Amino acid sequence: MNQPHEQEILRRLKSVEGHVRGVQRMVDEGAYCIDVVHQIVAIQRALKRVSAMVLDEHLRSCVTDAMRGPDGGEREKVLDELLQVFEATGKV
């Protein structure tokens, strides 16, 4: 992963971590359920964005290198990994 991209991903993950702690605090303090749900939805959106950033980086580096390289086994491996990700997210 390139350094600026990695730093942005880490920054976003730390922000998500703070949000999760905030939701824990809300629950502990008996906050209104819908307010908690709204915060959880925001966390899920933030994690989706981080996931998209990591996948984008993977496609632009590891997958591109494998597709351009001479190793057919490596090409198959990265394609299988991508299919597994899409299956896990229900995108297939």
* Domain spans in the chain, listed from the N-terminal domain onward: 3-88
The residue with tokens 């394609």 is: 79
Give the pLDDT of the chain (92 residues) as one tens digit per residue: 778 889 999 999 999 999 999 999 999 999 999 999 999 999 999 999 999 999 999 999 999 999 999 999 999 999 999 999 989 988 66
Contact between residue 82 and residue 22 where contact means Cβ atoms under 8 Å apart: no
The residue with tokens 């299919």 is: 83
Within 10 A of 21 (CB to CB), how many other CB atoms are there? 10
Confidence at residue 4, expressed as pLDDT on a 0 to 100 scale:
85
| CATH superfamily of domain region 3-88 | Metal-sensitive repressor, helix protomer (1.20.58.1000)
**How is residue 61 written in tokens?**
């580096």
Confidence at residue 2, expressed as pLDDT on a 0 to 100 scale:
79
* Radius of gyration (C-alpha) of the chain in whole angstroms: 18
Confidence at residue 89, expressed as pLDDT on a 0 to 100 scale:
84
Q: What is the pTM of this model?
A: 0.83
**How is residue 17 written in tokens?**
């971590």
Name the CA dihedral angle for 20, 22, 25, 30, rounded to a multiple of 10 degrees. Answer: -100
